[in-house]
């Protein structure tokens, strides 16, 4: 597995992260096989959140990987906090309690990375800064980042938070690529020109913040996958054509499309299927040409100005 630096951190991470949101759908032997396969593929970066399965996903993962001190140094654990039932919460009290809960469930003394989940409209960045300072000084969290945040929200945090924000987890796929499309359609009077996120992609590149695309196979908001979907015949024909050329699956090409972008993204997989996980990891070795990247982009229904 090819590796990269995560943001401005010293962490050397695989270019594909393993999302664990659905690991609670697996029986223990299946979960063990899934985690072991990820490690064998060099995909040792595992993404969690305190709300996944109400916390059970972190517990199941820790049991499946047979967490111990020696193993811990060979895996990279990222978790997220800030979503509560019916509200978002970036208060100092909640952040600290959430991290302690994740550490207990993951059977570890520290998180490599903590991300603030969905933006909290009532955020008091001074409290976030206090929480981050406590977590860093205690050794409970080594690096920090955000999820689903736009530039000015990040700038507000940076006014008070002294730690670098190394990652921003954002929804992005071939069919959910508005953050790319609005940069292509500058000064155009069409829908793709609408900037819905404050040019977050360019902002992250300018500030060395790693973009972590989530739901890389989804269209809409969890409406389904676009691969092998009759709703996207032209896109699937093009992906299958390119997959045949590289002798890989369509899953591999969908991830390779994201990895081809010069922002040096780190896609977060969501599959619990061992075969598809392997296919995701193979994308590390596929480098699409500029022509192929644009062909896939256009086949998804995007029109160049």
Which are the catalytic amino acids? 52
Cα separations in angstroms, 171 against 17, 158, 160, 208: 14, 22, 26, 18
Rg (CA), the chain: 19
Strand residues in the chain grouped as ranges (E): 3-5, 12-14, 17-19, 45-47, 76-81, 83-84, 87-88, 111-116, 141-147, 165-171, 210-214, 218-219, 224-225, 268-269
The full DSSP string for 254-296 is: HHHHHHTSTT----EE----HHHHHHHHHGGG----HHHHHHH
**Which residue's structure tokens are 């092998």?**
228
298's CB contacts (< 8 A; 6+ apart) are 304
């Amino acid at each position: 597995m090819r590796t990269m630096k995560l943001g401005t951190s010293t962490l050397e991470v695989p270019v594909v992260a393993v999302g664990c949101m659905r690991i609670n759908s697996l029986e223990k032997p299946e979960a063990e096989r899934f985690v072991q396969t990820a490690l064998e593929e060099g995909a040792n970066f595992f993404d969690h959140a305190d709300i996944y399965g109400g916390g059970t996903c972190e517990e199941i993962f820790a049991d499946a990987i047979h967490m111990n001190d020696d193993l811990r140094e060979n895996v990279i654990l990222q978790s997220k906090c800030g979503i509560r039932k019916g509200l978002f919460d970036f208060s100092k009290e909640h952040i600290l309690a959430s991290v302690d809960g994740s550490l207990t469930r993951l059977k570890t003394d520290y998180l490599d990375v903590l991300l603030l989940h969905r933006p909290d409209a009532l955020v008091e960045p001074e409290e976030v800064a206090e929480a981050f300072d406590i977590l860093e000084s205690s050794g409970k969290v080594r690096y920090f980042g955000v999820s689903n945040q736009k530039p000015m929200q990040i700038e507000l945090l940076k006014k008070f938070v002294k730690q670098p924000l190394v990652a921003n987890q954002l929804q992005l796929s071939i069919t959910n690529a508005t953050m790319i499309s609005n940069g292509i359609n500058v000064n155009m009077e069409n829908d793709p020109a609408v900037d819905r996120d404050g040019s977050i992609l360019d902002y992250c590149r300018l500030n060395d913040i790693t973009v972590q695309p989530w739901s890389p196979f989804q269209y809409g908001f969890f409406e389904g996958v676009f691969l092998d979907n009759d709703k996207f015949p032209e896109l699937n024909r093009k992906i299958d054509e390119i997959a045949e050329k590289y002798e890989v699956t369509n899953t591999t090409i969908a991830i390779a499309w994201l990895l081809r972008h010069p922002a040096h993204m780190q896609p977060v997989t969501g599959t619990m299927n061992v075969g598809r996980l392997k296919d995701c990891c193979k994308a590390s070795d596929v480098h699409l040409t500029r022509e192929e990247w644009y062909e896939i982009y256009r086949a998804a229904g995007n029109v160049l100005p």
